Amino acid sequence: MKHDLKGIIPPLVTPFTADETIDEAALRENVRFMMRKGVHGICLGGSTGEGHTLSTEELARSIEIACEEVDGSIPVVAGIIANSTRKAIEMAKAVSQYDVAALQVTPVHYVFKPDDDATYAHFKRMTEEVDLPVLIYNVVPWNYLSPALLVRLMEGLPGIIGVKQSAGDLKLMADLMISIPQGKLVFTAVDALLYASFAMGAHGTIAANPAAVPGVCVALWNAVQAGDHAKAQEIHRALLRFWNTIFADNLPANVKYVLSKQGVNAGLPRMPMPVTSPEQAAKIDVQLAEVLKYDESETASMQKAG
């Protein structure tokens, strides 16, 4: 790999205008915001970015914009959410012309679930036809890949560099952590338990919390790496209370609302996803004010200004 993937890698929102096109200026603003917060990489086209709604052309343009903004300073991951091997490869090839560190790829997730051999064949063809490292995005509830299958994929396919493990079952992630082949990566997307994931040795996170409050998540990561578990647990408690207010079927819209509260133009969600409701906003506002107290980048900027 030409990029070192680790730490806090927020999956950026995709800002949409009222006519549901991508607001490119707002996307650039979001990338710059993340970089100011000291993140270790960014991801475009993930679930938080409503990647399931993006065309191949929209994903490629988003990646192009992100690569222009970071200019090689941090890695860019391209998310691919597709329902066929052919479509996944099409999207992968479209972004491969840019400086992409890795692909984040879901298993096929429509109602017809492929068995383990078909899933293996899917990722085998992808890694053979596209010369980019692949992180398996293990998120689909009705096609959730077992630790045994993930290990089989990582052992058998050199192009697969690791897994982004989602859902709330930390036991499955713990099983994966003790069985992954040497040199492979495990990123956590268990938003409620980022602290526990880091303490167990996860190589980083690509998840909604970092997309919403990146500075806080960087502070949590730094605390765990420094062995300051008292501080990390304090951040965890505030971050969990915050997470409980944004976690909903309109999670991407809620992340956009949180970004707007921090002065970032995050645009609108794409239909049929609803915007944050007044009831959601009232709960979010309370916990956002508390969790942002742990954003060390804000403290540093205020000290610099003073």
Q: Does residue 164 carry a catalytic annotation?
A: yes
Catalytic residue among 2, 98, 144, 164: 164
Q: Does residue 294 carry a catalytic annotation?
A: no
| Chain centroid offset of residue 183 CA | 21
Q: What is the largest CA-CA distance in the chain?
A: 60
Residues 195, 231, 295, 220, Cα dihedral to 10°: -20
How far is it, in rounded angstroms, from Cα 243 to Cα 195? 13
Catalytic residue among 2, 87, 137, 294: 137
From the list 73, 76, 70, 130, the residue with the least C-alpha distance to 102 is: 76
How far is it, in rounded angstroms, from Cα 177 to Cα 185? 9
Q: Show the 3-state SS of the chain.
A: CCCCCCEECCECCCCECCCCCECHHHHHHHHHHHHHCCCCCEEECCCCCCHHHCCHHHHHHHHHHHHHHHCCCCCEEEEECCCCHHHHHHHHHHHCCCCCCEEEECCCCCCCCCCHHHHHHHHHHHHHHCCCCEEEEECCHHHCCCHHHHHHHHHHCCCEEEEEECCCCHHHHHHHHCCCCCCCEEEECCHHHHHHHHHHCCCEECCHHHHHCHHHHHHHHHHHHCCCHHHHHHHHHHHHHHHHHHCCCCHHHHHHHHHHHCCCCCCECCCCCCCCCHHHHHHHHHHHHHHHHHCHHHHHHHHHHC
Active-site annotation, residues: 137, 164
